[in-house]
Amino acid sequence: MEEIDLSCEFLGKKLNLPLVLNAITGGTPRAEDINYHLACIAKKYGMAMAVGSQTISIDDPGSASTFRIVREINPTGVIIANMGAGRPVEDALAAVEMINADALQLHFNVPQELAMREGDRSFKGIIDNVARIVKECPVPVIAKEVGFGFSRESVSLLYGAGVNIIDVGGMGGTNFIVIEDKRGGMFGGELDNWGIPTAQSLAEVLSLGLPLTVIASGGIRTALDAAKALAMGADLVGIAGSFLKVLLREGADVLDNVVANMVYRLKAVFLMTGADNIERIKTRPVIITGRTGEWLKLRGINPEWWARR
């Protein structure tokens, strides 16, 4: 097992693990404490980390320290800024500068906004705005869904706007429509199952055959989940909610143990499939059946490609 190499290069830096500790929080004293502990974990295990939406720090500069703590803890690690895809270019650039980010994550959360009583209702020109940000931003831009998944049509538009890193953010993890429903949102529970599941979204993006770096996220909870995503073709895997729950309920030491166990189990899956690195596991057969297989066939994507490679 000691010969299993889980390392990868991302944003010009080496990661020990193909994991992104994905955007969670920021802007409050409690958020600063959460970000502190998550940054410590990311640094210890050599993971990338994305902060939560920095919009609050643009409107309230005094909250910037809750995000800067991540870079202070991990000065040489891969740290990713976060801003809504519809925000002005100057806000996006400020988010990057705030934490000396290695990349900028632009999040797309249209269903959540529509579920919020106080949310946005117009998204006209968002692709043009993304293109402007890509042009002006000094670091790579990542397009990230937040739990509803990207279709291949959406990714084609984003690629045309200059984005070449996609975080699929599929359905299966944190459900922001349900969260807004609990706050008295607009959907009343009718659209709780809206979205493209993570496996289907990942397959759609990969089927384009574009020169993209692809991050699989959305309900990734176990080492086996991560291994399946990597075997399908993801370059990295994003995890957020499951780690946050452990941190809040059981503390930083337990989270440390959870991550250590995940690393061991991920290596075990690699070993059991005869893969000694990430590129090798991408060559292993993946059997896609059931609802996911049916989805792919109806979308003109042949699941046999994964099964017979």
Binding residues: 23-25, 53, 82, 112-113, 144, 174, 219-221, 240-241
Q: Which residues contact 119 (CB under 8 A, 6 or more apart)?
A: 112, 113, 180
Write the CA distances from 268 to 3, 38, 43, 271, 274, integer angstroms: 11, 25, 23, 5, 10
Is the CB of residue 234 less than 8 Å from the CB of residue 10? Answer: no
For the chain, state the CA radius of gyration: 19
Is the CB of residue 155 less than 8 Å from the CB of residue 205? Answer: yes
Residue list, annotated binding site for substrate: 112
Helices (H), the chain: 29-45, 55-59, 65-73, 89-98, 110-115, 126-136, 152-160, 176-182, 198-207, 223-232, 241-250, 252-272, 278-281, 290-298, 304-307
Residue list, annotated binding site for FMN: 23-25, 53, 82, 144, 174, 219-221, 240-241
Residue list, annotated binding site for Mg(2+): 113
Q: Which residues contact 4 (CB under 8 A, 6 or more apart)?
A: 267, 270, 271, 276, 277
